[in-house]
Amino acid sequence: MAERRLPVERAHNGMLVLADGTIVTKDLRLEGQGGTTISRFEPEALQPVGEPLVLPEGSMGRIAAEVGVDGVERIYVPGTEHLWRLVVASGRLVIDDGWRPRYRDPGRSDAGLAWDSCLSDDACWLMDCGDIAPVRHIHTTVPNGRFEAPPDLSWRQDAPWAAPQRLLRVGITDGSLQEIAPFGTPGGGIIAPPVAVPEWNRCIAWDSVNGGLAGVELGPDGDLGAAWHLDVRPSMQPVVFPDSGELVINDYTDARSDDLVVVDIGTGELIDRVPTGSRIANGMFLTAGDDRDVWYCSTTTVARVTWA
């Protein structure tokens, strides 16, 4: 019905439909690749709304937005060093200069960049160590990912840093930063965001490179602690059923079978497992259906998993 050439000739990720129906997206840049451009369009003919906004930093992870209790809509953008917040105005996007938590020191080589964030219960949750080797390979060519001779793009390669996987909690109100390394294994890495489930006082994090799934709780003293661990190897964005306390996520096994597992959010108990038929796992989203079913997609396989 309509198409629009984006203002920057780079790969894009993160696309939001805001409360007024306008569409926001961003280009994807790693450290040292310049500032990320964020563009906004009206939904019918995709005409630009205002001028594109260029962040002072690059941004790898997708964007998230919410309307605050004050009625103002804000967009959260994970940068290479900071978590940025944009205020949605009628004709333009504006950087909130009063809110810019730093999660990573400049030039830090022992830990990677943040992927997407999850907004929940007055907090922004995200995981770092996301620019693993295949992600770096894809974004060192222009057009991104166009290789004459493709390199090894497996996410199972060793991480290019020594740090363990971190889960970060940033306070939306005060910008406070808390962190936990729930596994502690050196060389952690992921390609997806965490998921916070306030109904169960849990945020679910994982380490795709080394394996491991963890349920992290916010204690009565405000500290983060690991409530449980599970020996699986996820890589995908999960689905949560908060009423029943069930989490569905993938587990790429040593037998090269990408299974879906159902996990009890409160206890970490493995409730069920089903093979999808895929021999490849990647970072796609799982999608909930209408009747406790889940849709799965990898590079080679589409599957629907139902509860019998």
DSSP bridge partners of 25: 15, 39
CA–CA gap between residue 130 and residue 221 (Å, rounded): 29
pLDDT digits (tens, 9 = 90+) for 82-137: 999 999 987 789 999 999 999 998 766 788 999 999 999 899 999 999 999 999 99
CB neighbour list of residue 34: distance below 8 Å, 6 or more residues apart: 58
Q: List C-alpha distances in Å: 61 to 55, 112, 204, 251, 285.
A: 13, 12, 18, 22, 14
Residue 127 CA to chain centroid, in angstroms? 7
User: Is the separation of the CB atoms in 198 and 171 below 8 Å?
Assistant: no
pLDDT digits (tens, 9 = 90+) for 206-258: 999 999 999 999 999 999 999 999 999 999 999 999 999 999 999 999 999 99
Question: Is the pLDDT score of 292 beyond 90?
Answer: no
CATH numbers and ranges of domains, the chain = 12-233 (2.130.10.10)
DSSP string, 78-107: E-SSBEEEEEE-SS-EEE-TT---B-S-TT
Say whether the peptide bond before residue 151 is cis (omega within 30 degrees of 0): no
- Beta strands 258-264 and 270-278 are antiparallel
Give the pLDDT of residue 219. 93
Side-chain-side CA neighbours of 103 within 13 Å: the count stands at 31
pLDDT digits (tens, 9 = 90+) for 148-205: 888 888 888 999 999 999 999 999 999 999 999 999 999 999 999 999 999 999 999 9
* The model's pTM: 0.94
Element containing residue 294 per DSSP (H, E): strand 294-297
Give the pLDDT of residue 149. 87
Give the pLDDT of residue 307. 84
User: Is the separation of the CB atoms in 282 and 299 below 8 Å?
Assistant: yes
Other C-beta atoms lying within 10 Å of the C-beta of residue 254: 7
Question: Is the pLDDT score of 143 beyond 90?
Answer: no
pLDDT digits (tens, 9 = 90+) for 39-92: 999 999 999 999 999 999 999 999 999 998 899 999 999 999 999 999 998 778
DSSP bridge partners of 127: 167
